[in-house]
Every structure is written in C-alpha cells, then in structure tokens.
Amino acid sequence: MYFIDFNCAIGEPMRSERYSTAEGLLQWLDKYQIDCALAYHSEAMREPEMGNALMAQAAAASGGRLKTCFVLNPSLESLGIPGEGTPLERLKKHRPSAVRIFPGEQLYPFDTFYAEEILTLCQQLRLPLIVDCPYDNVFLTQLPQVCRAYPDVPIILLRFLYNRSRQYMPILRKLPNVYLDMSTHIDVGGMEEVVRRFGSEHLLFGSGLPVYEPSGALGLLLYAQISDADRENIASGNFLRLEGGIRYDD
C-alpha cells in the first residue's frame, strides 16, 4: 500500500525534538514506511516567500518523496509566493501540490471577504487548500458559504473528526468539496461508520509531524474494518486524485 502523509512540516520554528530538516522528516517517513509527504516550511509563517522557497528547494532535492505545500498570507500582495509576476504566474512556476492558510494565527476570518484572493486563485487552479485554524462555531457557520461560493476548491480540515459527529456528518453529507484528516478519529467504529455512510473518498491520511507522530493515525487506518480499496483511498488515492485535478497547464 502506498502512503502519502499530507500533514507534515519542516523548519526550526517548529521547535520539535523529533526533527527540523527535510532529512529528518525523511528519516521519520522511513521509520514508519510512509512513501511520501506533503510538507510546508514553518519559516513561511515569519517570512512567507523565503520559507516557501526553502520548501520548494527541499522537495526538489528529495527525489520525489516530498511534495511542496506553500503557506499563503492574504495581507501580502504576493500572497507569500516566491518569484516574479502575479500570484497566479508564481504558482504556475512552482506548481505546489497544495497551499495552506492559518486564519487563526494570522488573525483574519475564513470567509469569502477576507480570504477572497486566495480562494479565487485556488478556484481557478482547483488547488487543494488546507485550512489550519480553530474550527469554532464562527468558522463552521462560514464554511458552507465558502464551499458554495468556491465549489472547485478542495478544502481540507485538519484533525477534525474526533468526537464531533454532529459537525462532520452534515459537512460530509452537504459539502462535497470538503476533505477531512482522519488521524484523530478514535471513537470506536467511527471510521467504519463514516465510510459506510459517506464513502472513503473524502478522508485523508495525515500524521501532523513533527508535532505528532504517525503511529496512531497508521494504526487507525491499518486496523479499521473497511475494505482494502477504502484503505488505499485514504492512504494516498484521495490525495493523488486531488493533486491530479490541479489545472496548472490550462
């Protein structure tokens, strides 16, 4: 089975004892027999263009084992994308496999007003957007409006499934462009219920390295009472499908 860990980071600002470099991340992937990882560089939180450029360089040197995720900041004219030209031209040059935003840390609401530039860009490219913030009631109220206004943006929520079925079940039923990280879904039979009711197509495998480590997420996936086809969807197939839908060449 091929595994892609879509939720990883490198960089000294993570302040992790596990690793800080791309080489350290690759060692952790080897330890847990994970084939590939989508990662962002934590330096991009302080110096977006520099941090994103460092991530692109690390991915290029990884022999295909690391995929680039850029951190975007809507307050910047460049959105934090390195290079020359418009944000669209810069993305087409670097071709990241996803982008990530931090509305909570950067103090802006995730809605169609404050995140408009990023959402419009992702809509045009069908670029996966990882939204890393507190998923409070304000966020959950805005999420349906964002999804309906930008239906071609795959929106990925992190570590969201644990004990929140009254929230994630309506999301899975009504918002087809939302994808959920399954790494903390530890209710007994919870993953099996989601797959039975909604299918496996909107679940992704992510560890949260280096803040967390992969054993829990791997155990949940490998021992869940689901079909091998569903397991493969979650392990890598769903992310590969999203990545394959990006329209850099249109």
What pLDDT does residue 129 have?
Answer: 98
Say if residue 185's pLDDT is above 80. no
Rounded to an integer, the average pLDDT of 166-192 is: 85
Rounded to an integer, the average pLDDT of 154-166 is: 81
Q: Is residue 146 part of a domain?
A: yes
What pLDDT does residue 165 have?
Answer: 77
Rounded to an integer, the average pLDDT of 18-42 is: 97
Query: Residue by residue, what is the 3-state secondary structure of 221-238?
Result: HHHCCCCHHHHHHHHHHH
Which CATH number do you get for residue 158? 3.20.20.140
**pLDDT tens-digit map of 125-138:** 999 999 999 899 99
Q: Is residue 60 part of a domain?
A: yes
Q: Is residue 91 part of a domain?
A: yes
What pLDDT does residue 160 have?
Answer: 66
Both tokens of residue 158? Answer: 């992190």
Q: Is residue 82 part of a domain?
A: yes
- The parent domain of residue 9 ranges over 4-244
**pLDDT tens-digit map of 70-80:** 999 999 999 99
Q: Is residue 33 part of a domain?
A: yes
Q: Is residue 30 part of a domain?
A: yes
Complete edge-to-edge strand list for the sheet that includes strand 4-10: 4-10, 36-41, 66-71, 98-101, 129-131, 155-157, 178-181, 203-204
Q: Is residue 250 part of a domain?
A: no
Average pLDDT, the chain: 94
Q: Are 94 and 83 in contact (CB under 8 A)?
A: yes
Q: Are 231 and 1 in contact (CB under 8 A)?
A: yes
**pLDDT tens-digit map of 85-120:** 999 999 999 999 999 999 999 999 999 999 999 999
Say if residue 231's pLDDT is above 90. yes
Domains in the chain, number: 1
What pLDDT does residue 167 have?
Answer: 84
Q: Is residue 249 part of a domain?
A: no
